[in-house]
Amino acid sequence: MASNLPSRWPGFTALQLHSKISVREAAAVAGVHEDTFRAHYPHLIKRVGARRDVVTLVDALTCGEAKEE
């Protein structure tokens, strides 16, 4: 599955797609408010520190893709 990821999003490498971004950035990528992202996609949010929550870029892109369909 990882091999076809860059072909779905040609502007990104596989390493970039698996990078961690903040929930605020993920919400911007998905085109929703941060609170909405937290309410609708809590399963994608990972806690990596006491005050830091992250989402992988590919998950954020996929959320935005599902919203458009």
* Average pLDDT, integer, range 45-64: 92
Q: What is the pLDDT of residue 3?
A: 56
Q: Considering the chain, what is the average pLDDT of its residues?
A: 86
Q: Pairing relation of β-strands 53-56 and 20-22?
A: antiparallel
Structural domains in the chain, sorted by start: 2-68 (1.10.1660)
Rounded Cα distance, 46 and 54, in Å = 5
Query: Residue 63 above 70 pLDDT?
Result: yes
Tell me if 37 sits within 8 A of 63, measured CB to CB: yes
